[in-house]
Amino acid sequence: MKFTTAHQSLRFSRRMLLLGGAQAAFGTLLLSRLGYLSIKQNEHYRLLSEDNRVQMIVVPPRRGWLVDRHNVPLAINRSDFRIDIIPDQLENPTQTLRLLASLLDLDPDQVDRIIKELKAARGFQPVQVAENVPYEKYAAVTVRLPELPGVQPQRGFSRFYPTGPAVAHLLGYVGTASAEEYEKTKDPLFLIPGFKIGKQGLEKTLEPYLRGTPGGQRVEVTARGQLVKELDPQPDRSGQTVKLTIDGGLQEYAARRMADHSGALVAMDIATGDMLAYVSMPAFDPNSFSKGIGQTEWRMLSEDDHIPLLNKVAQGLYPSGSTIKPAMALAFLKQGIDPNRRVHCAGGYQIGNRYFRCDAVHGSMDMHSAVERSCNTYFWAMGLVTDPAKTTEMVHYLGFGEKFDLPIPSQRYGTMPNPEWLKKKYDREWQGYDSANTSIGQGYVLVNPMQLAVMPARMASGKLLQPSLLLGGKRKPAPDLDVDPTHLEIVRKAMSAVVNGRGTAVASKLPLEGILMAGKTGTAQVFRLGSRGHQSNWALRDHALFIAFAPADKPRYAIGCIIEHGGFGAATAAPIVRDSMTYLFDKQKAWDALAPVEAQLGGTLAERTERRAEEFARIARANLAAKATAGGGQ
């Protein structure tokens, strides 16, 4: 069939209809899409558009204080000066940075960091140039401000710990939130220059109380982050002040009294279980961390063999040595051992095919004299005639190897071994020598310094005390110990004799009229084969331990102390405990005792910390100069 003009015309009309229909369909589609977006999705997009428009400029809250039981501040905020740059207002970045670098003495690394952060910055969010700027430099910048558009000098706050290292391990320190911490929480606060969060210790665990709520200025901003106008502001709320059970004075005293020893001391109030001192020495200066610790300082701290970065109270584990003996004695009594039963100490004891050597030839010993004189033979013998499961259970009940509910990150609890534990852990039966080792606090026994304070506190009070660090809130009174009070009396008398009779710590009597201290020394073997106590190499010497409570007749305070590689417990740990205990009853006498110790060391803790900081700074400068010359030579 021939395709004619008529056909053509008809086909045109039909196809026009088709085309017109398609166009109408498209029009309908467009209209319904428009309706869908602006009616059905309106709510959704309105929120998104508001989200775009309104931004918060976060105003960081002031961190809450940490105070001791008498409201003496342990951690406060000190006003400091800081310099930030608002990238959006920066006009001549190169020139501005050059001038700032010369005014503030910035080193090339810092300038590099600032340039990098400026490149990544978005609009109104400030980039930190320097914090903790000394007033003179701050003033120098302020004066030149007209030449420095975009530079914002500000007063900020930095965390300050008045007693420095004395509270380092208890309170921890604060630092800038890391990238991972931001990723986890997406908290915009973490991006504010100069904003610090708790990184260790109570600063970390009490973070929710201490941080407070940020305030904010709601602002309208453009896509490029330019501020258009300010909307309603929201005030910030400072963090709460947290009151600790710590006695700040005692804390500082004990830290200073520990001198250059490496060790830990925990003191408790027997009436409540309040921890009065929580000392781990040597320590870093937490103030250095608030400012941002230098590389040199960090390296020196991590390389120190006294491990100042380790919280020895929470994480140090030590054999208890003879400090276990009072608890052992109590365990024996409970199992029906007559306190008058005598054991002859000929300087050692044969168990199986091994001869265990005692410290001395003590002769005939009963329970009282065995504790007083710390005779191992007696405890070996009694350990062998009692049920090890029941004995270890009692010692554990008194605190060794126990977990305490305290707001301290990463604690270690140690081990109080028992037959069941041994079976599970090492798959073997409990042997006589296990009883022997355990009876004198060696072998598998590992305790932390808190347990060294909890044990005498429980024995002195007769109550199952729980240690606590936070004051406030009602506490349940501790239940009585499931122990015969007459048994406790026997042990307390023996412990009193350790200090006040013919015992191992008679040199550490309290220099106070009418107040007697009861205690028990401990010497924990570090190096098995070494001859005890006479090592010239510090790292191989025995640990010195001492546990105590006072007054012996009406106990109020308990202290546990360990001095790493301190030799005999009586030689180093006991005097430190004695003076710390003295502080609780007569501060002046205690300070008098401290003066010669510090004089010998060449200054107070604060003075020594300052000297060390200067030393760090000097080394850091020397390193930097060396690096600069090396870099220049390339």
Rule CB under 8 A: say whether 23 interacts with other proteins: yes
CB of residue 96 vs other proteins: minimum separation in angstroms?
A: 26
Phi/psi at 237 (5° precision) = -120, 125
Handedness of CA 200, 309, 282, 446 (dihedral sign): positive
Those residues with Cβ within 8 angstroms of residue 72's Cβ, 6 or more apart along the chain or in another chain: 248, 249
| Cα-trace Rg, the chain | 35
* Cα–Cα distance measured from residue 516 to residue 460, given in angstroms and rounded to the nearest whole number: 13
Among 37, 361, 617, 622, binds other proteins (CB under 8 A): 37
* Cα–Cα distance measured from residue 137 to residue 326, given in angstroms and rounded to the nearest whole number: 61
Q: Looking at beta carbons only, is 44 or 611 nearer to other proteins?
A: 44
CB of residue 89 vs other proteins: minimum separation in angstroms?
A: 18
Lookup result for tokens 């914002």:
152
Rule CB under 8 A: say whether 29 interacts with other proteins: yes
Mask: binding to other proteins, 48-67, rule CB under 8 A, as x and -?
xx--xx--------------
Rule CB under 8 A: say whether 292 interacts with other proteins: no
* Cα–Cα distance measured from residue 22 to residue 20, given in angstroms and rounded to the nearest whole number: 5
* Cα–Cα distance measured from residue 81 to residue 92, given in angstroms and rounded to the nearest whole number: 23
Mask: binding to other proteins, 220-249, rule CB under 8 A, as x and -?
xxxxx---x---------------------
- 528 and 508 in contact (C-beta within 8 Å)? no
CB of residue 187 vs other proteins: minimum separation in angstroms?
A: 21
By CB under 8 A, which span of 199-207, 219-227, 264-272, 529-537 interacts with other proteins? 219-227
By CB under 8 A, which span of 20-28, 199-207, 311-319, 513-521 interacts with other proteins? 20-28
CB of residue 26 vs other proteins: minimum separation in angstroms?
A: 5
By CB under 8 A, which span of 17-25, 95-103, 141-149, 390-398 interacts with other proteins? 17-25
Rule CB under 8 A: say whether 213 interacts with other proteins: no
Q: Looking at beta carbons only, is 26 or 355 nearer to other proteins?
A: 26
Rule CB under 8 A: say whether 13 interacts with other proteins: yes
Q: b/e map of 351-379 (b: 16 or more CB within 10 Å)?
A: beeeebebbeebeebbbbbbbbbbbbbbb
- For other proteins, the binding residues in 442-461 under the rule CB under 8 A are none
By CB under 8 A, which span of 42-50, 90-98, 469-477, 504-512 interacts with other proteins? 42-50
Q: Looking at beta carbons only, is 29 or 539 nearer to other proteins?
A: 29
Rule CB under 8 A: say whether 119 interacts with other proteins: no
Rule CB under 8 A: say whether 410 interacts with other proteins: no
Rule CB under 8 A: say whether 11 interacts with other proteins: yes
CB of residue 18 vs other proteins: minimum separation in angstroms?
A: 8
* Cα–Cα distance measured from residue 321 to residue 529, given in angstroms and rounded to the nearest whole number: 16
Lookup result for tokens 């109550």:
463
* Cα–Cα distance measured from residue 454 to residue 93, given in angstroms and rounded to the nearest whole number: 60
Q: Looking at beta carbons only, is 15 or 354 nearer to other proteins?
A: 15
Could you tell me the CA-to-CA distances from 246 to 250, 251, 423 in Å, in that order? 8, 7, 40
CB of residue 7 vs other proteins: minimum separation in angstroms?
A: 7
DSSP-derived 3-state class of residue 194 = coil
Q: Looking at beta carbons only, is 224 or 424 nearer to other proteins?
A: 224
Rule CB under 8 A: say whether 120 interacts with other proteins: no
Where does 270-370 show beta strands of DSSP type E? 275-281, 343-345, 348-351, 354-357, 363-365
Count residues near other proteins (CB under 8 A).
41
* Cα–Cα distance measured from residue 278 to residue 267, given in angstroms and rounded to the nearest whole number: 7
CB of residue 231 vs other proteins: minimum separation in angstroms?
A: 12
* Cα–Cα distance measured from residue 437 to residue 449, given in angstroms and rounded to the nearest whole number: 20
DSSP annotation of 151 reads E
Q: Looking at beta carbons only, is 2 or 424 nearer to other proteins?
A: 2
* Cα–Cα distance measured from residue 363 to residue 343, given in angstroms and rounded to the nearest whole number: 8
Q: Looking at beta carbons only, is 42 or 178 nearer to other proteins?
A: 42
Rule CB under 8 A: say whether 16 interacts with other proteins: yes
Pairing of strands 127-133, 174-176: unpaired
Among 39, 179, 529, 630, binds other proteins (CB under 8 A): 39
Q: b/e map of 182-199 (b: 16 or more CB within 10 Å)?
A: eeeeebbbbebbbbbbbb
Rule CB under 8 A: say whether 34 interacts with other proteins: yes
- For other proteins, the binding residues in 334-363 under the rule CB under 8 A are none
* Cα–Cα distance measured from residue 335 to residue 358, given in angstroms and rounded to the nearest whole number: 24
CB of residue 55 vs other proteins: minimum separation in angstroms?
A: 10
Q: Looking at beta carbons only, is 219 or 518 nearer to other proteins?
A: 219
Contact set with other proteins (CB under 8 A): 2-5, 7-8, 11-13, 15-16, 19-20, 23-24, 26-27, 29-31, 33-35, 37-39, 41-42, 44-46, 48-49, 52-53, 220-224, 228
